[in-house]
């Protein structure tokens, strides 16, 4: 068991439900949400902020916590349900595509202390990582995360590290699906080291469900092979870890959690974003606030509550991994 401070332990309790499961709603998107709204109308700061507020006020009733960004999301943090914890993102959106390595960067105007002053119960940082990239690039990322971990340690806040794998050589689709388990599991091992001071790992599922036997039209892994990768992933860390939805449909995401449970994965929850609220963008942008509220009160609520039911049947208590 990893030992954490009393403050970090209590913050983790605020971010999870009574069973110690993290059912977090994610709407820290910036560039992508601007593009999504921009398909239908002018994507102004006011519209982005208002949409985030609508999602927060309507859906945090059914979530243990919400992940927001300090650039557009602070108004939404003020209208979340009183029982919902708050994670704030610390990374700049996207990455510099003109440079090799998808190098990380923090928001210049913010520090962990300043995010804490805005009510953050935890800090989230997104890191793109290819375990097979040049040693110099990955070492720079290791040092960067060490700094982040030290800053969170200094402010006595949980550090949620979101790891997104990729292939610097350019593999995508079916070819990338073949190497994805290796990349996801090995980066999980790396950032589970105590030197990074990570509290919770926010992970991709180790396989591409579109290429699992029985889930997609063609497959790279049999169902049993997929389950073995889920088990290997769980055994690669002693930290609490949660799954990100990665932009897949809610139906496929729920199926991936059920398969994880069947495989014996002891994951501790989810941070689910677009799968929950993305379809509210069109009514909000085309017809206005009231139509978006109607969608969130009906379809949005059904999506998040159905996910909650699956979590209740599949996820495990993070307190089995952390002690104060």
Please say if the pLDDT value at position 278 is more than 90. yes
CA distance 71 to 176: 33
CA distance 206 to 189: 13
Q: Record the pTM.
A: 0.97
Question: Percentage of residues in the chain with pLDDT exceeding 70?
Answer: 100
Closest CA to 185 of 265, 268, 89: 265
Other beta carbons within 10 Å of 104: 19
Q: What's the distance, CA 154 to chain centroid?
A: 23
For 91, residues 6+ apart whose C-beta sits below 8 A from its C-beta are 104, 105, 106, 107, 125, 126, 127
Please say if the pLDDT value at position 41 is more than 90. yes
| Locus of tokens 């949620």 | 160
Token representation of residue 72: 């557009």
Identify the H or E element spanning 322.
strand 322-323
DSSP 173-190: HHHHHHHHHHHHHHHHHH
Q: Is 16 left (phi over 0), alpha (psi -120 to 50) or beta?
A: beta
Question: Tens digit of pLDDT for each residue in 50-106?
Answer: 999 999 999 999 999 999 999 999 999 999 999 999 999 999 988 888 889 999 999
Over the chain, what is the mean pLDDT? Answer: 96
Q: What confidence score (pLDDT) does residue 99 get?
A: 86
Phi and psi torsions of 173, nearest 5°? 55, -135
Question: Tens digit of pLDDT for each residue in 96-119?
Answer: 888 899 999 999 999 999 999 999
End-to-end CA gap in the chain? 10
The secondary structure of residue 221, as a DSSP letter, is B
- Please check whether residue 47 is in contact with residue 41, taking contact to mean a CB–CB distance below 8 angstroms: yes
Segments in 204-300 forming alpha helices (H) = 223-235, 250-263, 274-277, 281-287, 289-295
- Please check whether residue 301 is in contact with residue 62, taking contact to mean a CB–CB distance below 8 angstroms: yes
Q: What confidence score (pLDDT) does residue 252 get?
A: 94
Token representation of residue 204: 């991709």
For 161, residues 6+ apart whose C-beta sits below 8 A from its C-beta are 124, 125, 127, 145, 148, 191, 196, 198, 200, 201, 202
Task: Give the pLDDT mean for 272-286.
Answer: 94
- Please check whether residue 119 is in contact with residue 80, taking contact to mean a CB–CB distance below 8 angstroms: no
Which residues are registered as beta bridge partners of 123? 88, 159
Question: Tens digit of pLDDT for each residue in 217-271?
Answer: 899 999 999 999 999 999 999 999 999 998 889 999 999 999 999 999 999 999 9
Angstrom distances, CA of residue 239 to CA of 40, 59, 159, 323? 42, 28, 12, 11
Q: What confidence score (pLDDT) does residue 5 get?
A: 98
Angle at Cα 292 formed by Cα 289 and Cα 293, nearest 5°? 90
């Amino acid at each position: 068991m990893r030992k954490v401070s009393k403050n970090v332990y209590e913050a983790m309790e605020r971010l999870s439900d009574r069973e110690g499961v993290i059912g977090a709603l994610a709407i820290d998107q910036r560039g992508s949400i601007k593009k999504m709204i921009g398909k239908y109308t002018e994507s102004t700061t006011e519209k982005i902020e208002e949409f985030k507020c609508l999602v927060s006020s309507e859906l945090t009733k059914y979530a243990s916590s919400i992940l927001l960004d300090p650039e557009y999301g602070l108004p939404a943090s003020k209208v979340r349900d009183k029982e919902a914890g708050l994670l704030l993102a610390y990374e700049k959106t996207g990455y510099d595509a003109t440079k090799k390595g998808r190098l990380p960067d923090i928001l210049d105007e913010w520090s962990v202390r300043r995010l804490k002053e805005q009510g953050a119960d935890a800090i989230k940082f997104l890191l793109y990582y290819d375990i097979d990239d040049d040693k110099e690039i990955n070492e720079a990322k290791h040092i960067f995360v060490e700094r982040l971990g030290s800053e969170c340690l200094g402010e006595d806040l949980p550090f949620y590290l979101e790891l997104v794998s990729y292939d610097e050589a350019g593999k995508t689709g079916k070819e990338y699906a073949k190497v994805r388990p290796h990349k996801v599991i090995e980066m999980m091992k790396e950032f589970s080291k105590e030197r990074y001071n990570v509290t919770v790992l926010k992970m991709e599922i180790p396989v591409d469900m579109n290429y699992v036997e029985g889930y997609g039209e063609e497959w790279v892994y049999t169902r049993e092979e997929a389950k073995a990768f889920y088990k290997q992933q769980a055994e690669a860390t002693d930290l609490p870890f949660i799954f990100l939805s990665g932009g897949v449909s809610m139906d496929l995401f729920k199926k991936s959690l059920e398969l994880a449970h069947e495989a014996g994965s002891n994951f501790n929850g989810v941070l689910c974003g677009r799968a929950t609220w993305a379809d509210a963008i069109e009514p909000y942008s085309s017809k206005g606030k009231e139509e978006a509220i109607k969608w969130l009160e009906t379809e949005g609520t059904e999506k998040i509550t159905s996910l909650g039911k699956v979590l209740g049947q599949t996820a495990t208590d993070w307190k089995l991994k952390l002690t104060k």
